């Protein structure tokens, strides 16, 4: 394919993925020799309409010099004229002969032109340079995830504050402040936010399963936020676990697996973000001495509390057999980021009057920087600020994340 046509497809990929109906094109693409049947079968196996559209556009760029005009012809023949006109804007006029047209491939040689009968295609007059749409539209690319759907995606917040007496876990004063901040923040970032409060272990699993069964094909991202007590558990991927109000926990690696590509196909290739405000264990970090110019000292409140529970074995409180993600042969997840409020094994500090250090800082950084800074960079900013706090003038906290994202992620922000 000519370089100018590739650039036109790349610049308009967002609109093509959003509006293209690939199912109407397959017969024409096959008849005109743009794709082979095997290639069409592979595109159809991509899953959702959006994923098929995305794969079709990517494959189209490899199909020779005639693929672009023939694709435009297919769009016109299937009633998708608006997309054809969008792609023609700024493209050189292309005319295919009425008697015969050339196809980009013969199935075995993508660069070879093959004669076959066809219908004349006439490019309308006009043109001009392609311009991005109004606002901060980000298109899926090698550099950044597509994050321009409206709404951007679902955000589930599970806020466990009041624990059942038999659980032997203290109530988490101040967690409602964290919850309100994050609910407001992710609504501002154009997510559909749902809050669930004081859930038992089985109820946490049910909410995650329900989220995984939703159709996310029209969305670009999914967020899960867990606010609860936590503990350190044996793991083979993501450390830590989050408690239900009944004292039974769910490992973080199980939480993430509900939304991986195998269990939630409509989120394949899309970022899945998990924010965990819970302790990773019961060890308190007393820090180490540095020169005064390394940090700006900051003390926590007089009523600092932790969300720590001593480490449990993987067999405690949880049956692995009823988990849909319990198979050890699952591949390493892609497009997943898990942000922890504290380093695995250590406590996480929370002030009863103003909420947790981690959520306070995360909310402020998102407010100040989301319009211009990618998520991973913002999380490093959170790490730096939280690391400068001190609980009771003595204890420290170090957030961190396990990052399996493949691209930069920029949130939508209000202009």
Q: Is residue 302 part of a domain?
A: yes
Domain boundaries, position 93: 3-117
User: Measured over all CA atoms, what is the biggest interatomic distance in the chain, rounded to whole angstroms?
Assistant: 85
Residue 106 corresponds to which tokens in the numbers above? 């013969």
Q: Is residue 388 part of a domain?
A: yes
Q: Give catalytic residues, as residue numbers.
A: 229, 279
Report the b/e string of 267-300 with b at 16+ CB within 10 A.
bbbbbbbbbbbbbbbbbbbeeeeeeeeeeeeeeb
Residues 288-292 have a mean pLDDT of: 39
Q: Kindly state whether residues 179 and 261 are assigned to the same domain.
A: yes
Provide the pLDDT for residue 280. Answer: 44
Q: Can you say whether residue 24 is alpha, beta or left, with left for phi > 0 and alpha for psi between -120 and 50 degrees?
A: alpha
Q: Is residue 136 part of a domain?
A: no
Q: Kindly state whether residues 337 and 274 are assigned to the same domain.
A: yes
Q: Is residue 414 part of a domain?
A: no
Residue 222 CA to residue 211 CA, distance in Å, equals 9
Which residue's structure tokens are 């790349």? 10
Q: Kindly state whether residues 54 and 100 are assigned to the same domain.
A: yes
Q: Kindly state whether residues 180 and 74 are assigned to the same domain.
A: no
**Of the candidate ranges 172-176, 266-270, 330-334, 336-340, the one whose mean pLDDT is the lowest:** 330-334
**Of the candidate ranges 185-199, 295-309, 341-355, the one whose mean pLDDT is the lowest:** 295-309
Q: Kindly state whether residues 197 and 314 are assigned to the same domain.
A: yes
Residue 168 CA to residue 386 CA, distance in Å, equals 29
Q: Is residue 24 part of a domain?
A: yes
DSSP class of residue 383? H
- Does the structure show a pLDDT above 90 at 184? yes
Query: What's the mean pLDDT when you consider all of the chain?
Result: 76
91: domain CATH number?
A: 1.10.533.10
- Does the structure show a pLDDT above 50 at 203? yes
Looking at the chain, the whole-number percentage of residues with pLDDT higher than 90 is 37
CA separation, residue 38 to residues 41, 56, 112, 261 (Å) = 5, 13, 18, 23
Q: Is residue 129 part of a domain?
A: no
For helices 81-88 and 67-77, angle between their N-to-C axes, nearest 10 degrees: 150
Q: Kindly state whether residues 88 and 199 are assigned to the same domain.
A: no
* pLDDT tens figures, 253-271: 999 999 988 889 999 999 9
- Does the structure show a pLDDT above 90 at 141? no
* pLDDT tens figures, 335-394: 999 999 886 656 655 566 667 889 989 999 999 999 999 999 999 999 888 887 655 455
Higher pLDDT, 409 or 318: 409
* pLDDT tens figures, 55-106: 898 888 888 888 888 999 999 999 999 998 888 875 555 444 333 333 344 4
């Amino acid at each position: 394919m000519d370089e100018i046509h590739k650039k036109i497809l790349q610049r308009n990929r967002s609109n093509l993925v959003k509006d293209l109906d690939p199912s109407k094109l397959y017969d024409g693409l096959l008849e005109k020799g743009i794709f082979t049947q095997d290639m069409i079968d592979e595109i159809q196996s991509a899953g959702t309409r959006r994923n098929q559209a995305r794969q079709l556009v990517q494959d189209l760029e490899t199909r020779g010099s005639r693929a672009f005009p023939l694709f435009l012809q297919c769009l016109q023949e299937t009633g998708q004229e608006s997309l054809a006109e969008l792609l023609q804007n700024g493209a050189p006029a292309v005319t295919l002969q009425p008697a015969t047209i050339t196809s980009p491939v013969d199935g075995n040689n993508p660069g070879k032109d093959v004669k076959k009968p066809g219908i004349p295609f006439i490019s309308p007059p006009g043109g001009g340079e392609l311009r991005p749409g109004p606002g901060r539209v980000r298109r899926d690319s090698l550099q950044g995830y597509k994050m321009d759907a409206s709404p951007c995606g679902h955000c589930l917040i599970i806020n466990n504050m009041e624990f059942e007496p038999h659980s032997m876990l203290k109530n988490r004063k101040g967690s409602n402040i964290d919850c309100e901040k994050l609910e407001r923040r992710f609504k501002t970032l154009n997510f559909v936010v749902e809050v669930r409060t004081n859930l038992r272990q089985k109820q946490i699993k049910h909410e995650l399963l329900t989220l995984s069964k939703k159709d996310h094909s029209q969305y670009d991202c999914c967020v899960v936020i867990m606010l609860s007590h936590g503990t350190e558990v044996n793991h083979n991927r993501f450390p830590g676990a989050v408690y239900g109000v009944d004292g039974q926990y769910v490992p973080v690696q199980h939480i993430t697996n509900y939304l991986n590509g195998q269990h939630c196909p409509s989120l394949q290739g899309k970022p899945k973000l998990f924010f965990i405000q819970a302790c990773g264990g019961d060890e308190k970090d007393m820090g180490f001495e540095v020169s005064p110019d390394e940090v700006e000292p900051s003390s926590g409140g007089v009523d600092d509390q932790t969300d720590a529970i001593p480490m449990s074995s993987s067999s405690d409180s949880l049956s692995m057999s009823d988990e849909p993600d319990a198979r050890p042969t699952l591949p390493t997840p892609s497009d997943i980021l898990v942000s922890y409020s504290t380093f695995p094994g250590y406590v996480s500090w929370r002030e009863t009057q103003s909420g947790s250090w981690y959520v306070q800082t995360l909310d402020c950084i998102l407010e100040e920087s989301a319009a211009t800074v990618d998520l991973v960079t913002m999380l490093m900013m959170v790490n730096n600020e939280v690391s400068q706090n001190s609980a009771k003038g003595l204890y420290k906290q170090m957030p961190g994340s396990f990052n399996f994202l493949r691209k930069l992620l920029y949130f939508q922000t209000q202009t």
